[in-house]
Chains A and B, each alone.
Chain A
Amino acid sequence: MSQNLQLSPPHSDPWQGYPRGTLDEFFDGKGVMRHLYRPFAEVLGQPFTQWDRRKRVADEVFRHRGVTFALGAGAERVERSIPFDIIPRLIGAAHWRHLEHGLAQRMTALNFLVSDIYGAQRILKAGVIPSEFVYSSPLLKPRMMGIRVPKDRWIAVAGIDVVRTGEDRYVVLEDNVRSPSGVSYVLENRLVSSSIWPQVMRSTSVHPIVEYPQRLLDTFLSITPGKWVVLTPGLYNSAYFEHSLLSSQMGLDLVESHDLMIYRNRVHVRTTQGLQPIDGIYRRVDEDFLDPLVFRADSLIGVPGLGSVLAHEHTALVNAVGCGVADDKGMYRFIPDAVRFYLGEDPILPNIPTYLPSIDSERAYIFEHWDDVVIKPVSESGGKGLLFGRDLSSAQRQVWREEISLNPRSYIAQPVVTFSTAPVYHEGRFEPRYVDLRPFCLLGDDPWVLPGGLTRVSASQESLVVNSSQGGAIKDTWILRE
């Protein structure tokens, strides 16, 4: 028996056990393959050795190109290829138009909101968002109050996670503006798809994504022309591949903190020919670690003095320090209100209902509906700290009741929302997994949304958590043209 056949135990029906009639990207409500996926009909009939071969090709491409993420630290650190599922997720033109408009609208409102919070505070004065709710945000940076940033761009890059909850309904899961990562996987996934699905791609009209690095650079230059650099925490950061790929494709220097220094109140980079002033930094370092003199004193990856320089509008920073206040999971509840307030429009993409324990009635609701809610810490990301109420024992619920009552501003609760699944290929058969979508949005002179995104896949059929740090995988996302 060949190695290929050993890898693929023969299944008479690879779809055996695959649920039908649920909300699925591949099958419609009647269990029929969606029209979008018709180009795949032919390859589905191929022997499964071909699918295993494609999987191996994909893994090889990722390995050779160094598309890895790091697990562990120090001597225990290992580089792993990102788990990639070879079946892409397809989104039709009409759905994408809807998403694109909604994301651009939300991105614009997020920038207005942060600018307003650190500036005139119109939205607080109008009572749309309670002032005390903003002031109690762990992600608010009071030292940025009253500070102006170049071109008033507080958020120029965002990854806004959405999930599909109905045939034509998408909702926003969360806004990531602090340091949204994953776009390198989007770019690399497409290279792999081109290698393993050449015939399918030829028979399908898919929006290209290759222009992202150029658009990103244009966004930076629209904020301030001049010399930009990409600031990385360093080689051991799990997203280092992304930092190096983007800097390479934009033609910018990839710098670490010790490559930078403050000289005559400007940020300079150490070059082989001396110090060179720079005008903008695309930072991929968390803002708390940017400057040990101003933020966390224990930061070893910061630039002493950077925090003071940023206050003088000499140097642009993407995204600006303080933007995280829009990333606060509690603030998420108010983003649709911010859309209405700043843009005078109804939000195109709705939120998931969110309960704030800091409001008495909502806290009571949470404690009465443990089975129906998921608790999230407001300042975490990457699926960390998620707590499903239904999984808690009575004693644990009591412990959490006390914790939430003591620190109501640190948590939110949301109903457990079921969203769409998509098939993943696993050892000769297809299995459903929950999927979300992280599209990448830029805000230079105008908002722009990358026609694609990172589809993240849950680790198991039961799990609703799709973060790759929690064991999930990724898929390429094809946006079909009209």
Chain B
Amino acid sequence: MLSRVGENVYWMARYLERAQNFSRVLAVRRAQGAQMLARETNWPGLLRTFGDIHEPDGWDTRDLIHHAIFEGTCPISLRFTVERARENARMAREIVSPEMWHVLTEMHALLGARDSGQDDDTWDGLLNMVTMDALTFQALVQSTLLHDEAYYFIQVGTTLERALSTLFLLMSYLDNLAGWTHEPLFAVNMLKSLTGYGAFRRSYRMSLSVPDVLEFLIFEKAFPRSLAGASNSLQTAMNALPEPWGPAKSKVGRLIAQLSYDTIEMVMDVTPVIYFSTLLDQFKTIHDDLSARYFQPEVQEV
């Protein structure tokens, strides 16, 4: 397939997965934040961790959430993310099925409507719709697309973005790990932001503790949104890409080996901040290698 189209579907998948995760994060924070003892959750810190470069001055929580959903120039906003997903899908229209396009157009219209976002009591419904539309889109990838090279680039993009989203979420909670003992909702919110609360409860019967929650979200291979689970899915998708795979594949293998042998004690020893930063660099290198191998290939005749 064309390198450019491979890159387009890869990014389309990344942006859709990003929208799905971020809308859930926003919904959970918004709903649960009001119930927490601390009341004010650290919204600017959250947005910064996810990559927002804006420095809000004098904004209240409503302004910040509105910004994170609707601001077209904010690189992490849902509107920006869905617009980019659709733009990439447009450039690969000959691959994207009509059903997938329909869902993307609906999402685009939902976030781009002139009067959207005026009433904040509608935001919960909207955030839920973005998550559900993105999940529908991913189901349509499975059921309406030819499972050829394009499909596997989509899977690679989805799983890599899933791992990164989990990592960003973990990093956004690093500031308040000490407060978890007094405020159990921190842990609940984090798990719910990844739809992992029920799954965690089936694995850990004890009360919520920082090490248990981190251990689950980093190392639990059976949970698809854990770092280990997403990395395993990434490796499966990468194995289906055309050979030679280049250095990205061995780097994913090394990462999976590391996540298999590391323990939560090691994470706490080196401190979660350093551990997560190292992982972030590793995931970014995998993206760079994939990009260099498949999307900007050297001149080489087939």
In the assembled complex, the CB of A281 is this many whole angstroms from the nearest CB of chain B, namely: 14
- Number of residues on chain B facing chain A (CB within 8 A): 28
Say whether chain A's binding surface is mostly helix, strand, loop, or mixed: mixed
Say yes or no for B279: interface residue by CB 8 A criterion.
no
Q: Which residues of A contact B4 (CB under 8 A)?
A: 255-256, 258-259, 270
A254: which of B93, B106, B149 is its contact (CB, 8 Å)? B93
Query: Which residues in chain A, 241-266, are within 8 Å of chain B measured between CB atoms?
Result: 241, 244-245, 247-248, 252-256, 258-259, 261, 263-264
A255 to B300, CA, bound (A): 18
Task: Report if A326 contacts B (CB, 8 A).
Answer: no
User: A253 and B94 in contact (CB under 8 A), knowing A271-B1, A271-B2, A272-B1?
Assistant: yes
Contact check, B87 vs A253: say whether CB atoms are below 8 A apart.
Answer: no
A424: min CB distance to chain B, Å = 26
Instruction: Tell me if B90 is interfacial: C-beta within 8 Å of chain A.
Output: yes
Cβ of B98 within 8 Å of any chain A Cβ, yes or no, is: yes
Which chain B positions have C-beta within 8 A of A275? 299-302
Chain A: CB-nearest residue to B244: A273
**CB of B253, distance to nearest CB on chain A (Å):** 21
Residue of B nearest to A63 (CB): B105
The complex places the Cα of A274 from the Cα of B294 at a distance, in Å, of 9
Of residues 316 through 361 on chain A, the ones whose CB sits less than 8 Å from some CB of chain B are none
Bound form: Cα–Cα A64–B103 in Å: 8
In the complex, A269→B299 CA distance in Å?
Answer: 10
Whether, in the assembled complex, A66 has its beta carbon less than 8 Å from a beta carbon of chain B, the answer is: yes
Query: In the assembly, what is the distance between CA of A271 and CA of B6, in Å?
Result: 9
* A125 contacts B by Cβ under 8 Å: no
Q: Which of A252, A254, A255, A273 contacts B242 (CB 8 A)?
A: A273
A residues in contact with B87, CB < 8 Å? 235
Q: CA A274 – CA B299 in complex, angstroms?
A: 7
Chain B CB count within 10 A is highest, among A244, A256, A273, A274, for: A273
Interface residues of B in 100-115 (CB under 8 A from A): 101-102, 105-106, 109
B109 partner residues in chain A, CB cutoff 8 A: 63
A331 to B95, CA, bound (A): 41
For the complex formed, measure the closest distance between the CB of B261 and the CB atoms of chain A, giving whole angstroms: 33
Nearest-CB distance from B9 to chain A (Å)? 11
Instruction: Report the minimal beta-carbon distance from B267 to chain A, rounded to whole angstroms.
Output: 36
Which A residues lie within 8 Å of B95 (CB)?
A: 248
Q: Given that A235-B87, A248-B93 are known contacts, is A268 also in contact with B242, CB under 8 Å in the complex?
A: no
Report the nearest A residue to B86, measured CB to CB. Answer: A66
Shortest Cβ gap from B239 to chain A (Å) = 15
Interface residues of B in 1-46 (CB under 8 A from A): 1-6
Tell me if A65 counts as interface (CB < 8 A to partner B): yes
Contacts of B1 in A (CB 8 A): 253, 271-272
CA distance A270 to B7 in the complex (A): 12
A66 to B99, CA, bound (A): 11
| A82 CB to nearest chain B CB (Å) | 15
Q: By the criterion CB–CB under 8 Å, are B105 and A64 in contact?
A: yes
Smallest CB–CB gap between B83 and chain A, Å?
12
Most buried by A among B1, B95, B242, B302: B302
With a cutoff of 8 Å between Cβ atoms, the chain A residues found around residue B129 in the complex are none
Instruction: Tally A residues with Cβ within 8 Å of B.
Output: 31
Query: How many angstroms from the CA of A254 to the CA of B8 in the assembled complex?
Result: 12
Task: Please state if A254 and B94 are interface contacts (CB–CB under 8 Å).
Answer: yes
Chain A residue with the shortest CB-CB distance to B3 = A270
Q: Quick check: B98 and A271 within 8 Å, CB to CB? A: no
Give the CA-CA distance A113 to B2 in the complex, in Å.
37
A263 adjacent to B301 (CB under 8 Å): yes
How many Å lie between the Cα of A64 and that of B94 in the bound state? Answer: 16
What's the least CB distance linking A34 to chain B, in Å?
A: 35
Q: How many Å from the CB of B137 to the closest CB on chain A?
A: 14
- Tell whether, in the assembled complex, residue A269 and residue B105 are in contact, meaning their CB atoms are under 8 Å apart: no
Selected contact of A235 from candidates B6, B90, B302, CB within 8 Å: B90
Q: Can you name the residue of chain A whose Cβ is closest to the Cβ of B98?
A: A65
Let me know if A240 is at the binding interface, CB within 8 A: yes
- Shortest distance from the beta carbon of B212 to any chain A beta carbon, whole Å: 42
Q: Which residues on B sit within 8 Å (CB–CB) of A263?
A: 299, 301
Q: Does B208 contact A (CB under 8 A)?
A: no
Could you tell me if A272 and B3 are in contact, using CB atoms closer than 8 angstroms?
A: yes
> Is A276 interfacial (CB-CB < 8 Å)?
yes
Query: Given the complex of chains A and B, what is the CA–CA distance between A258 and B300 in angstroms?
Result: 16
Across the two chains, which residue of chain A brings its CB closest to B294?
A272
Cβ-based interface call for B140 (8 A): no
For residue B91, CB closer than 8 A to chain A, the reply is yes
Give the shortest distance, in Å, between B87 (CB) and chain A (any CB). 7
Q: Which of A240, A244, A270, A272 contacts B149 (CB 8 A)?
A: A272
State how many angstroms separate the Cβ of B187 from the closest Cβ of chain A. 42
A173 CB to closest chain B CB (Å) equals 31
Contact partners of A235 in chain B: CB under 8 A: 87, 90-91
Within 8 A of A (CB), among B227-250: 241-242
Closest chain-B Cβ to A100's Cβ sits at a distance in Å of 30
Complex Cα–Cα for A273 and B293 (A): 9
B65-104 CB contacts (< 8 Å) to partner A = 87, 90-91, 93-95, 98, 101-102
State A197–B87 Cα separation when bound (angstroms).
33
* B3, A259: Cβ atoms closer than 8 Å: yes
B198 at the interface (CB under 8 A from A): no
B297 within 8 A of A: yes
CB distance from B268 to the nearest CB of A (A): 41
Q: Mark B259-302, 1 if CB is under 8 A from A, else 0.
A: 00000000000000000000000000000000000110101111
Bound complex: CA of A253 vs CA of B91, how far in Å?
A: 11
Interchain CB contact under 8 A, B91 and A272: no
Given A258-B4, A270-B2, A272-B242, A247-B297 contact (CB < 8 Å): no
- Which A216-256 residues sit within 8 Å CB-CB of chain B? 235, 240-241, 244-245, 247-248, 252-256
Most buried by B among A65, A240, A269, A271: A271
Separation of A112 and B56 alpha carbons in the complex (Å): 68
A247 interface neighbour in B94, B98, B101, Cβ under 8 Å: B94
Q: Known: A63-B105, A235-B87, A259-B4. Contact between A274 and B297, CB under 8 A?
A: yes
Specify the chain B residue showing the minimal Cβ separation from A252. B94
**Residues of B with C-beta under 8 A to A268:** 301
Chain B residue contacts of A274, Cβ below 8 A:
297, 299-302
The verdict on A259 contacting B297 (CB below 8 Å), with A65-B98, A235-B87, A235-B91 known, is no
**Which listed residue (A63, A66, A259) contacts B93, Cβ 8 A?**
A66
Chain B min CB distance to A259 (Å) = 5
Q: Which residues of A contact B149 (CB under 8 A)?
A: 272
- Give the docked Cα–Cα distance between A275 and B296 (Å): 11
Partner of B2, one of A64, A66, A248, A269: A269
The contact sample of 5 A-B pairs, CB cut-off 8 A, is A64-B101, A65-B102, A270-B4, A270-B297, A272-B297
Extra inter-chain contacts (12) besides given A235-B87, A248-B93, A253-B5, CB under 8 Å: A64-B102, A235-B90, A245-B93, A253-B94, A255-B4, A258-B4, A259-B2, A270-B2, A271-B297, A271-B302, A274-B300, A274-B301
Q: Which residues of B contact A (CB under 8 A)?
A: 1-6, 87, 90-91, 93-95, 98, 101-102, 105-106, 109, 149, 241-242, 294-295, 297, 299-302
4 closest cross-chain pairs (CB), A and B: A244-B93, A248-B94, A274-B300, A272-B294
